[in-house]
Structure 1
Amino acid sequence: MSLHVLKFGGSTFPSTHQYRSIARYLRRRMARGEQLVIVASGMQGATENLRSLATSIDPGVGTAALHGVLPLADTTGAGLLRIGLEREGVPATLLHGHRTGLVTEAVEDRAAPLLRTELGEIEDLLDRGITPVLPGGQGADDQHRPTWLGKNSSDLSAVALAGALGLPEVEIFSDVEGVYSADPYIIDAARPMPRIGYEEMITLAGHGAKVLHPQAVRTAQRHGVRIVCRLNYGDFSSGSVIGDTGGVRAVVVDLRSVVASFPDVATADAAYEHLLAEGAQAHRPQVPGRHLAAVTGGFFDVGRALADAGLPVSIGSERLVTAVRDGVATIHVADDEQAARRLGAELHDELTTAQAGREREALVRA
């Protein structure tokens, strides 16, 4: 029997109906002789609903307390998928966070760094013909206390498991079949990219692309695990493959980014270092006459983090737009969301025109 690790993102489950359809798909794969380890995110919007509940009680809720609530979304999602599998006659069990085998540092007030993966319980379940279903982004420290790997870290869970199991690839299911040259919901001309190098994907993700968790790609690169992107509906077709080869040109319009302005370069440097230490995806955009630090990816309270550090800051409506050419990122600052959309479309046109020229030259040389 062949072994596979599959991860289903939150967009897979807009309603409970999809748990049955995904369970039927998984049953068909197992009928072909496959063994599966499944990582599931929470239902679409579930994590943010929990965040809203927490902040409705205390708008200033602490990070450690919040981390005690948010992982429940993925636990519920994995539990519902386990129910769907059993309805389809598939023996399955839910491994809560402290049983996933993902061992992390002992931290409560930020995303917990992954230390290692222990496969004892997962391998025992597979030997007994039981399908393990794991909530994404959850682990435990060396004292078996539950920890959270952070927002959107289900990818990291799946990749770490595939690497520990010695598998050549991991399958990531979402509502798009892969990585595009831009967000297709923002730029109409965006096109799918069939192959992306690890470093290129890390650059895209680190500048706000919503497709994959940056640390998941680093972990995949370290273990030599290909990441195969698949649709989470219909024929579940595969699209982009992230691996050793690449050479992409793309634009990231991050409408969730936050750009902070500071009175001098020393304060901006201090803010940047503090944001990195807090686990944010921080950058230092270079704009003449200004001193900036920015965070991409969303879900990080930049203003609060800097206020807690006693750093004077001004945050407006600016957004980051990043052009990536063969792994090299150039960051632009747009005045607001609409300006970011326009700039992104312009940069995308430039990149794709240049790419078409390169492809024509290659054909001529051939």
Structure 2
Amino acid sequence: MGTIIQKFGGTSVKNTERILEIAKKIVERKKLGDDIVVVLSAQGGYTDTLLKKAHNISKTPKKRELDVLLSTGEQISIALLAMAIEELGESAISFTATQLGIKTCSNYNCAQILDIENKKIKEALKEGNIVVVAGFQGVDPYGNITTLGRGGSDTTAVALGVALDAQEVEIYTDVDGIYSADPRVVKDAKKIDEINYSEMIEMAGNGAKVLHSRSVELACKYNIKIHLRSSYSWKEGSIVKGEDEMEKEVIRGITHSKNLSKITLRDTPHRLVDVINTLSNKGYNIDIITHDFDLERGATISCILKQELLESAFEVLEDKYPESRKNLIHIPNLGKVSVIGIGVKSKGVAAQVFKVLSENNISIEMVSSSDINISCIIHQKNLEKAVSLLHRELIEEAK
């Protein structure tokens, strides 16, 4: 038998009833002979509660102190689960990231894992313990507590899988697998039994919220299999793994993301790199960028970013390029619909996407594409309609 990593999200440990339920399942798995390491998120909604408390004190809390605060949520979860497992007759021990030695950089609120010391955790497993680890957090070279950003517990789980040479990382959540579209939007969305790393990275990065994209990237790098499943039904879920030997063209899914906006700087003499650096240096994450250059009029640069950042990003560009204010425009309330899969490379898929949207009077603001992804920026009011139409055309009715 080997080592299994099990990660449970916030909804899985949201109350005493759920903690007791997953404790029973963990103990059952332990009795099969595997070494079990459990990674936990904070209880559902608790991180948001802590953020609210912080912003009641300060509009711009210091990032270091915010990480100290937010890391407490996982500490509560791991202690309670360890107690529940002990009540069932199994030995358990909980560790925070600092106790365990999950080393990160000093990028507060969005740190990256650099290394994990596995000596302490291996000793605890050898002694027969179920080891319960706080996800989402780490410690920097100076001993400061850091957090990995939203969804970071997935990354903690995969990183532990790498450090312990685990057979598999099981990610338990409130859904029973990965679907070809959001089932809340598309009633005929299909469950995907297996999907490769590249496709899952694209889906996670374009609106599918079932897995954190950084965790899939890490799993891909070290070839760690991820099994996404529900902690409510305990049925087999979806497997994320390496490429199949024989790939056939297939559209895996239609994903979407909301609350986006577009900023355009028209007819400017400024270079693309300068404009983008101006935003990036202020911490703005840019999604899609387009650049058009005319010898007489100069460059037209457009970029997509989150709606919540629109006002402040617009002010940054106005201050940086005051002479170009009249040429600076923005479009709010946009969304992105993405077609993901090996099949995107086949001839005609892009044409199908544009045809479906055009025939239904859905205008496209911007387009981005790769070997396995075609993304269209459209008005948010048309987003769910676009997802349903494309799912029907490319998945439900595909031969």
TM-score band w.r.t. shorter chain: 0.7 to 0.9
Normalising by the residue count of structure 2, what TM-score does the alignment of the two structures yield?
0.79
Q: Kindly provide the CA deviation profile for residues 198-226 of structure 1, in whole angstroms up to 9, marking residues without a partner as x.
A: 11111111122101111111111111111
Report SS of the residue matched to 1:184.
coil
Report SS of the residue matched to 1:263.
strand
User: Are the equivalent residues in 2 in contact too, given 1:193–1:248 (CA < 8 A)?
Assistant: no
User: Are the equivalent residues in 2 in contact too, given 1:178–1:192 (CA < 8 A)?
Assistant: yes
User: Are the equivalent residues in 1 in contact too, given 2:55–2:61 (CA < 8 A)?
Assistant: yes
Provide the residue aligned with 1:283 in structure 2.
287
Provide the residue aligned with 2:387 in structure 1.
344
CA distance in 2, matches of 1:80, 1:315: 47
User: Are the equivalent residues in 1 in contact too, given 2:279–2:316 (CA < 8 A)?
Assistant: no
Provide the residue aligned with 2:208 in structure 1.
209
Provide the residue aligned with 1:332 in structure 2.
376
Q: 1:321 to 1:287 in 2, by over 3 A?
A: farther
Structure 1 residue 174, shift from structure 2 partner = 0.9
Report SS of the residue matched to 2:69.
coil
CA distance in 1, matches of 2:314, 2:206: 20
Provide the residue aligned with 1:129 in structure 2.
128
Task: Kindly indicate whether residue 231 of structure 2 is the aligned counterpart of residue 232 of structure 1.
Answer: yes
Q: 1:78 to 1:315 in 2, by over 3 A?
A: farther
Q: 1:212 to 1:284 in 2, by over 3 A?
A: same
Deviates more, 1:219-228 or 1:261-270: 261-270
User: Are the equivalent residues in 1 in contact too, given 2:3–2:165 (CA < 8 A)?
Assistant: no
CA distance in 2, matches of 1:267, 1:81: 54
Q: Kindly provide the CA deviation profile for residues 313-355 of structure 1, in whole angstroms up to 9, marking residues without a partner as x.
A: 846221222222326222212222x32111111121222146x
Report SS of the residue matched to 1:182.
coil
Provide the residue aligned with 1:360 in structure 2.
none
Structure 2 gaps, min length 5 = 245-249, 293-298, 321-327, 343-370
Amino acid at match of 1:33: G
Provide the residue aligned with 1:260 in structure 2.
262
Report SS of the residue matched to 1:185.
coil
What is the aligned-residue identity percentage? 27
Report SS of the residue matched to 1:190.
coil
CA distance in 1, matches of 2:278, 2:129: 45
Task: Kindly indicate whether residue 241 of structure 2 is the aligned counterpart of residue 243 of structure 1.
Answer: yes
Deviates more, 1:321-330 or 1:13-22: 321-330
Spell out the pairing of 1:265-276 with structure 2 (5 A cutoff).
Answer: 272-273=276-277
Structure 1 residue 62, shift from structure 2 partner = 4.1
User: Are the equivalent residues in 2 in contact too, given 1:94–1:134 (CA < 8 A)?
Assistant: yes
Structure 1 residue 267, shift from structure 2 partner = 8.2
Amino acid at match of 1:292: S
Provide the residue aligned with 2:42 in structure 1.
42
Report SS of the residue matched to 1:171.
strand
CA distance in 2, matches of 1:295, 1:76: 35
Q: 1:22 to 1:302 in 2, by over 3 A?
A: farther
Task: Kindly indicate whether residue 183 of structure 2 is the aligned counterpart of residue 184 of structure 1.
Answer: yes
CA distance in 1, matches of 2:7, 2:167: 15
Spell out the pairing of 1:105-116 with structure 2 (5 A cutoff).
Answer: 105-108=105-108, 110-116=109-115
Q: Kindly provide the CA deviation profile for residues 264-303 of structure 1, in whole angstroms up to 9, marking residues without a partner as x.
A: 475876565566667776311559998433347x9x8565
Spell out the pairing of 1:144-223 with structure 2 (5 A cutoff).
Answer: 144-223=143-222
Deviates more, 1:79-88 or 1:339-348: 79-88
User: Are the equivalent residues in 2 in contact too, given 1:195–1:245 (CA < 8 A)?
Assistant: no
Report SS of the residue matched to 2:389.
helix
Query: RMSD over aligned Cα, in angstroms?
Result: 2.9
Q: 1:158 to 1:284 in 2, by over 3 A?
A: same
Provide the residue aligned with 1:294 in structure 2.
304
Provide the residue aligned with 2:349 in structure 1.
none
Structure 1 residue 33, shift from structure 2 partner = 1.6
CA distance in 2, matches of 1:186, 1:100: 41
Structure 1 gaps, min length 5 = 358-366
Amino acid at match of 1:245: E
CA radius of gyration, larger in? 2
Spell out the pairing of 1:76-87 with structure 2 (5 A cutoff).
Answer: 76-87=76-87
User: Are the equivalent residues in 2 in contact too, given 1:229–1:241 (CA < 8 A)?
Assistant: yes
User: Are the equivalent residues in 2 in contact too, given 1:177–1:231 (CA < 8 A)?
Assistant: yes
Structure 1 residue 68, shift from structure 2 partner = 2.8
Q: 1:275 to 1:122 in 2, by over 3 A?
A: farther
Count of aligned residue pairs for this structure pair: 350
CA distance in 1, matches of 2:101, 2:47: 22
